[in-house]
Amino acid sequence: MVEDKVAKAKAFDPLDMNNYKIEKLPKRSKSKFETFLAIIGAPLAILTFILIYFVAKPAFLLHIDPSSLSDYARLVYDTMGSEEFSRINIAMMAIFAVGIILWMTEAIPNYLTSLIIIISLVLTEVLSEKEAYAQLGHKVMWLNIMSFVLASMLVKTGLAKRFALWFIVHFGKNSSSLFLSFLVINVVLSAFVSATTAKAAILLPIFMVIAAIYGARGGDNKNNFGRNIVLQNLFYINIGASGFLTGSGANLLAASLIIGATGVDLFFSDWMMGNFPVAVGLMLIGYLVATRIFFPLKKEERAPQIEGGMDRLKEELGKLGKISFEEKKATVLFLAILLFWATDKYHGISPTAIAFIGAIIALLPRIGIVNWNDVDIPWHLMLFSAGAYTLGAGFKATDLPSLSVNATFEALGIGDGTPFWALYLLLTFTMVFSALIFQSKTMRTMIFVPIALGVAIRFGYSPLSLALPVAFLIEHVYALPFNSKPAALLYETDQYSLTDTFKYGVTMLFIGWFMSILMGETWYRYLDITPDGVFGIF
């Protein structure tokens, strides 16, 4: 047994990228607390549903003033009558609470929770079967599917790997330039890949080989180079996505909620203009905070520990050969898609339609770049998202977010004269630090974007003034391993501890919040997002 382990250790090549594929990473076992949560999750969810739906019946939902409802919810109210409308609101609250508990505790797989939510909304008659099941055909779902087709094209042709290796080989001359190289690589990939997990899968083998070159082997051989390169990539993967409307499905969901509530088009270019500069600024600050404050490199960590290690990366790049015709076609197609996305405000074609056309071109026989069998679409994630979108349809039908906001503010004695800055600070702070509690970006989007819309409407402000800054904070999911799929994936590398990611992550959460306040006072005000800034100083 011991001899076998020794033989395996000797056979392990730390510079072989195949050793760092996702399927080869060790699976982290659940902690005692996580196991406890999983055990109590299902009974707690059932008990919560019974208490809300059959016992408690929240008082503020029993007698609803129809004048406070949105136009769509008022139509539902007029059709159903006050008693039935109150009943479906109570059912909506009970189902939403069940979903939150099951998602947080992971008592059952997330996609299964979504399926339960969908059928529960149908059986309680919150939504009709047609409305509930149709969410799988939501345009954001189609954008996700088409984006996975395009991302598969990047992987199949090797274009993403070639770009990352080429950039590292040409610009990663020392430890500092390596970290900044990954910043640039993540920004570029974020514009094309709408799944943060896909970006993590593409980059993981590359930065793990570089970690090995600089002596970071993980486990008992952790060093600050390893902490830096993995934690910074985790930060870049998420914050890079925040700069683009198509950076993640959660961004697209937020945009859909805002458009649905306001009737105002929110274009790719609007989102990019608003948050791309902020994302780049935060990524640079994240680099400085990591390398200068929390994980400064010792002298020996600044130099490669394996002789000729960087040459292995050049060999990997060389193995790809000259750029192929297929890669050139993929490059042209992606640049065209990005150009049309960035100019959607002028031609009016939606990001979904553009991705649709791009995916069709990519799949065309003889002309295209990939076959359907090359496409990797994680359907469990699609089902999970469908459940979240169905909750959104339920919110729209019942107007539960606005009703809850009104009841909460009245209970707290918060009157109509509340200044904008107080609302802005409260909502952005809650959105940022909710990442320490909630597991899913989609879930946080479903909770806090509708609340921001409800608060803005209640106090007479533009819905965009609060909802858009809140939406810009969706991707702050890097402080703890359960915050996002990339966070869970990169924690398995064992290059950093829970304490490492917590202290760095929480610091960046605070900085991200302060950056949002600063932008609300300056940049967002210039773009007419916030009315007169946050505090009205400038």
Given a cut of 50, whether residue 405 has pLDDT beyond it is yes
Q: pLDDT tens for residues 463-511? A: 899 999 999 999 999 988 777 778 877 887 888 888 899 999 999 999 9
106 or 360, higher pLDDT: 360
Q: What pLDDT, on the 0 to 100 scale, is given for residue 19?
A: 53
The pTM is what?
0.77
Given a cut of 70, whether residue 7 has pLDDT beyond it is no
Q: pLDDT tens for residues 201-245? A: 778 887 888 888 887 776 767 889 989 999 999 999 999 999 998
pLDDT band (50, 70, 90) for residue 308: low
Given a cut of 50, whether residue 2 has pLDDT beyond it is no
pLDDT band (50, 70, 90) for residue 538: low
Given a cut of 50, whether residue 9 has pLDDT beyond it is no
Q: What pLDDT, on the 0 to 100 scale, is given for residue 254?
A: 86
Q: What pLDDT, on the 0 to 100 scale, is given for residue 1?
A: 47
Identify whether the C-beta of residue 481 lies closer than 8 Å to the C-beta of residue 200: no
| pLDDT more than 90, % of the chain | 30
Neighbours of 372 (CB within 10 A): 9
Q: pLDDT tens for residues 88-129? A: 999 999 998 998 888 778 788 878 998 999 999 999 999 999
Q: What is the mean pLDDT of the chain?
A: 83
R_g of the chain, CA atoms, integer Å: 24
Name the residue type at position 196.
T
Residue 129 has phi, psi (to 5 degrees) of -60, -40
DSSP 218: B
Given a cut of 80, whether residue 277 has pLDDT beyond it is yes
Neighbours of 494 (CB within 10 A): 18
Q: What pLDDT, on the 0 to 100 scale, is given for residue 14?
A: 56
Rounded to whole angstroms, the Cα distance separating 174 from 220 reads 24
Given a cut of 70, whether residue 361 has pLDDT beyond it is yes
Tokens of 1: 């047994």
